[in-house]
Amino acid sequence: MTFKQPIPTIRRDADGVVILDQTLLPHRCAQHRLSTLDEVAHAIRSMQVRGAPLIGATAAYGVAIALGRDAADEALDHALRALAATRPTAVNLHWALGRMGARLLPLAPSARAEAAWLEAEAIRLEDQETCAAIGRHGLALIEAVAARRPGPVRVMTHCNAGWVATCGAGTALAPVYAAHARGIAVHVLVSETRPRNQGLLTAWELREAGVPHSLIADNAAGILLARGDTDLVITGADRVAANGDSANKVGTCLKALAAQDAGVPFYIAAPFSTLDFACPDGSAIPIEDRDADELRCVNGLDAAGQLTSLRQAPEDMAVINPAFDVTPARLIRGIITERGIAAPGALREMFPAAEPS
């Protein structure tokens, strides 16, 4: 059964795109139209759109939007650079821009805008297929647990790697949706994911889909793993190095360490476009540092139901805010891709023809 996004995370609208604004979720479901390169770059930087596969698709549409105004070599070069500068860690962004550049640079300027729209649409549609295939491969892991013991299969995840973060069903949540569709009982443990609380997006989309879940504090993961309340951990990734080291939302590595200690298998689910064979290991993955106010302030609804930002730490409090961490390959049982589940140390053997992104 093909997964249909309840609200498209991105769709073409004439010479622009309409996005689901993730900065307002889970409190408000609002869509915005983006019609300039600057608006697209801002949407990615501010995380109105976020999640590695969706960032890549959005950037591809951003190129098409820019070329609709000016398709000369300089304008194309400017669009590719401006979008590449928005966020450093998710390699899908750079993969998508590389693909757009390779497709468009050889063309005459007059042919570029139309070709850019077609290529961006292709990236979006391919992501739907990719998510579905990740779901099919990951489903086998959930089925294996369900066959072993009664009761719901308890899957812990971190951040949001569901449909909201992609153009399809998601990556880490795709196996969960596939299991739910098959009638296999699952219960998802959703960590909050401070400071940006992407776990709330995960809890929101699971609730909308009727998938049982519990929101947990990030710091509760250790005890829930140690006392045997978790069968599997599955998270997404923003960049997987050639040796299998995987960057994902900060806090992922702590879950992998706790999972290893508790003997719970830890999996990464990511499309092939997240594998970066040009990056030898995790130490070469650029880690994004984000604004200190993400920690000093919390967003939520006030008593009148208005979205508001509350300061919880003084304006001048020193903050360190890395947005991602790197989970070493030795802690990862497998990487669930659309082409199958690979052992992290065997990516090159499993995908020998892979081009560096």
Ligand X SMILES: CSC[C@@H](O)[C@@H](O)C(=O)COP(=O)(O)O
Contact code string over 172-201 relative to ligand X, x by CB under 6 A: --------------------------x---
- How far is it, in rounded angstroms, from Cα 331 to Cα 328? 6
Name which position in 40, 41, 43, 52 contacts ligand X (CB under 6 A). Answer: 52
Asked if residues 156 and 232 have their Cβ atoms less than 8 Å apart, the reply is: yes
Instruction: Please pick, among 238, 245, 276, 325, the residue that the annotation labels catalytic.
Output: 238
Among 17, 134, 155, 159, binds ligand X (CB under 6 A): 159
Backbone angles phi, psi at 196, to 5 degrees: -95, -5
219 is in an annotated binding site: no
Candidate residues 119, 127, 205, 238; the one interacting with ligand X per rule CB under 6 A: 238
Q: Which of 137, 154, 239, 249 binds ligand X (CB under 6 A)?
A: 249
Q: Whose Cβ is closer to ligand X: residue 100's or residue 268's?
A: 268
Residue with tokens 């443990």: 189
Residue 168 lies near ligand X (rule: CB under 6 A) = no
Q: How many Å apart are CA 290 and CA 87, to the nearest integer?
A: 10
Site string for ligand X, 90-119 (x = CB under 6 A): x-----------------------------
Cα distances (angstroms) measured from residue 220 to each of 100, 160, 229, 286: 42, 17, 11, 28
Strand positions, DSSP E, the chain: 10-13, 16-20, 31-34, 153-157, 186-191, 213-216, 232-235, 239-241, 246-249, 266-269, 275-276, 297-301, 307-311, 324-327, 334-337, 340-342
Q: Is 238 a catalytic residue?
A: yes
CA atoms of 221 and 231, how far apart (whole Å): 12
Q: Which stretch binds ligand X (CB under 6 A): 120-128, 182-190, 234-242, 276-284?
A: 234-242
The number of residues in the chain equals: 357
> Binding residue per annotation — 311?
no
Q: Residues comprising the binding site? A: 50-52, 87, 198, 248-249
Query: Under the rule (CB under 6 A), what is the footprint of ligand X?
Result: 50-53, 90, 159, 161, 165-166, 170-171, 198, 235-238, 248-249, 323
